[in-house]
Each structure stands twice: as C-alpha cells, then as structure tokens.
Amino acid sequence: MIWDKMRENIFFKKFINYYLVILLILFVFLGGIFLGRQSGVSTNQNFVSGSVTNQNMRSGFLSKNANFDLFWQTWDIIKKNYVHQPVSETELLYGAMAGSVASLGDPHSVFFDPETTQKFTNELKGNFDGIGAEVAIKNNVITIIASLPGSPAEKAGLKSGDKILAIDGEDTTAMSLDYAVNKIRGQRGTDVVLTINREGWDKPKEIKLTRQTIKIQSVTWKMLDNDIAQIDLRYFNEDTSAEFSKIVNQIIAKNPKGIVLDLRNNPGGFLDTAVDVTSEWVDKGVVVYEKSADGKLKANDANGKALFKDFPTVVLINGGSASGSEIVAGALKDYKLATLVGEKTFGKGSVQTLFPLDDGSSIKLTIALWLTPNENTIDGQGIEPDIQIKLTDQDFNENKDPQLDKAVQILTSKNANK
C-alpha cells in the first residue's frame, strides 16, 4: 500500500509539472509570434533551421540543488499534522527509502524491508515456506499441476488436476494466481485449508495442510520418445549449477539423439549459474557481456567442458523466460548451437546487485545491462525464437504442447537426415 501511494504521488507531481511546462512553452510560443508580428517580422519568410540546445536539461526545481533540510521539514509536517496519529517513524523511514529507489523509474531496482529481504534471499537459495504444489489457472480454475516429492501436498494426496475452490474459506473464483500463491504460502508450521474438488468425487473436500520449508528442485530431466532428452530448467538458484552438472553426466550416459532444453517461464536467478549452464554447450568465448553505466563491456566467458556441444539441441522459450534464461538462449542462438522454438522472451536483460543494509533490509539495484555474444541488447528487446509457435489457453487446457511437439519433430528430422 505504501509503495502504491508513493508511486501515485510521484506520478501526480510529474503530471502537474509536465503540464505546467507545456503551458509555459505555449505561452512563450504565442508571445513570440505576437512580438514578431508587432516588430514587423514576417512568419512566412524562408530561413535556415536552427537546433535545439539543452535538450537534456532538467526542468524547474529538478535542475537546482536540493537542501536535505526539506526532507526533515516534510518529516516534521507529517508527524505533527497527519490526521491518523501516532505516525510510525519506522514506516516513514522505510517509505522514504522505498521512494528514493522508486524515483529511479527502474522496475528492477527495489528497496526491500528486512522481512522481504529474507524472503527474496530464501527464494534465490531455492527455499520457501509452503505446501510444495505447483499451481496454475486451468479452465479459469486454480488447479494443481504437480505436487513436489515429499512435500505436504504430496503427503496430503493432492494430485495433478485437483481444483482449488477455496483457500482458508475464501472463494478462488476470479482470484489471481499470484494472490492465490501468496495465500497458500506462509510461515512454516502454520496451517492452510484448501477446498479441493477432484474428478470422480461426489462433492468437494476440505484438506488441511501444515506448511513446511520447501526445497525447490530447479532442474529435472527425462527421456522422451525417439531417444530425446528433455531438461526442465525452472530457476537459476544457488544449487542449480551442481545439480545441472550431475544431470549432464546422467544424460551423456544415455547417449541421446538430441536435447530439448525447456526454459519456458524460467524467471532467471544468478548470473554465474546461467554462465555455468551455457558452458555445457559453449566450449570457449563470451557467454554474455555486462555493459556498465560508463559504457564499458565486461565479458563473462564460458567455463565448462561443453559436453553437450555435439548434441542437436532445441531450446523452448516464451514470454516468461527472463534474465538468466535469456542469457542462455541468446548465447546458444548467437553461436548457432541450438534452435529456439516458442515465443519472444520477456526482455529483462539487466544486472541487479543486492546491497545489504545494517538492519537486515536491502536495496536491489540495477548496475549494468546484458548483451549477447554478438552484442545484441537483451533488456527491453528480448530474444526472438527461430521458429515461432504459440501455446494457447486451449492447448494448455487440453494438455497439448505444440512447442514441445515441434522440438521433437526438429530433432527427429535431424537424426533422419544424418
């Protein structure tokens, strides 16, 4: 709520300033025409066009030095005059810090309070407190996609296809997926009650689950038909590099005819992990460049054995593939080591560093941009697939996957043409 209000206030101030500037420019423009006519200068004569100077000049108060006493004046006014007293100084402080970062206008630069910092750190480590169920909206109903092995969801018997009709008694009809996930997650040891309906049941049942710390399995694999290995990479967490390395050896032992690397809906994670994964295909050279504020490029080079470089590979991507996923996809595309199938990626190609503060809060700040080995910008651009195929809602509801089908077709065709 604090965040939304601050964004709203910032937008309002920018809105007012914008129109004041427009009105001033219009006034000056009309005044200039008036004075020109009064002095006998014709507005129809030919003239050599000039240039606009100071285009980067900040308007009004933004071009002046600011006195930090203004901050304390604002603080004092709020403390003394706000209608709902007492005012929490802690909330004022955290709100001010959040507003400072928000003023950058960068959606990826964020201030985290201590609690949010802990949650963010845990997720990067591959941990969260919840029931261990993957959920999605299917046929307009929040549905269990899978229960993680050994999780409270699996122990309670939740199965793929189970429909969640209510969470702690709150009807899930028209509930957003993010909101539902946040309601299901919670502190370890606490309970959540899901109202579940399953095909074949006479009526829905209420199932109580006790939340536990869930370890996210960031990478899994399986053999498909025609001796093709499919790798599902969901995150680039702390343990992904080690787990991926184990999987590489397991797949090599099977000697597959091709590899499908599924990066769909992978939001990214650690840069080093993305480089490690890419290095299983790229034997040497740049995996990704970091472009800093001064325009300098820092190369992040391949560091692995490239055990997959001789295996035909198809990478599946979509609009949910971001950050680390785009690093991997962009590098394999530039080096022509894989065919990209699916939809254009998200376009989140910036580098964030987490700066810890003394009280346990932190600032996640953008410090650089990512470029592919061919120096193509990822941020705001995304990675285009070589073969564009959409996965529609109807496909999802009917358990169809035309993107994966196309990947298998490509790899099967390559083997047939050998």
Catalytic residues: 323, 334, 348
Which helix (DSSP H) or strand (DSSP E) does residue 284 occupy? none
Q: For residues 210 and 192, what is the distance between their CA atoms, to the nearest angstrom?
A: 6
Can you point out the beta strands (E) in 302-396? 313-317, 339-342, 350-356, 362-371, 387-388
Q: For residues 132 and 267, what is the distance between their CA atoms, to the nearest angstrom?
A: 18
Q: For residues 257 and 276, what is the distance between their CA atoms, to the nearest angstrom?
A: 23
Is the distance from CB of 322 to CB of 297 less than 8 angstroms?
no
DSSP 252: H
DSSP 62: G
What crossing angle do the helices spanning 324-334 and 271-278 adopt, rounded to 10°?
Answer: 30
DSSP 236: B
Of 337, 336, 368, nearest to 351 by C-alpha is 368
CB atoms within 10 A of CB 111: 22
Residue with tokens 């787990």: 243
Residue with tokens 């810890």: 356
Is the distance from CB of 240 to CB of 266 less than 8 angstroms?
no
The two most distant CA atoms of the chain are separated, in Å, by 91
Q: Decide the pairing of beta strands 219-224 and 228-233.
A: antiparallel
